Amino acid sequence: MSKYFLLFILSLFAIACSEQQVPTNALGGDRDEHGCIGSAGYQWCAHTKQCERPWELAEQVDIENTQDSFAKYCSLASQQPP
């Protein structure tokens, strides 16, 4: 009986090891078309031509810390000639 039990346990291990591992996304692997990492809070700003965190940019350029203010600052400025 112990031979059958051992064979059963070994079969379970073989089945468990044969399952494919589900790949996980690496941290910081969620870059957008500009290379901005969204999970870290970065968004593309056409005015500064770089990835910015809205709350940091709001403090630097003295605008209201809202998504709307960030969008206006980055989009309106991009329409003006440099």
CB atoms within 10 A of CB 70: 21
1-46 residue pLDDT tens: 687 777 778 777 777 776 676 666 666 678 899 999 999 999 999 9
> What is the pLDDT at residue 35?
93
For residue 20, give the DSSP letter: P
More confident residue, 23 or 66: 66
Where exactly are the structural domains of the chain? 30-82
CB atoms within 10 A of CB 71: 13
Quick one: pLDDT at residue 46? 93
Compute the residue count for the chain. Answer: 82
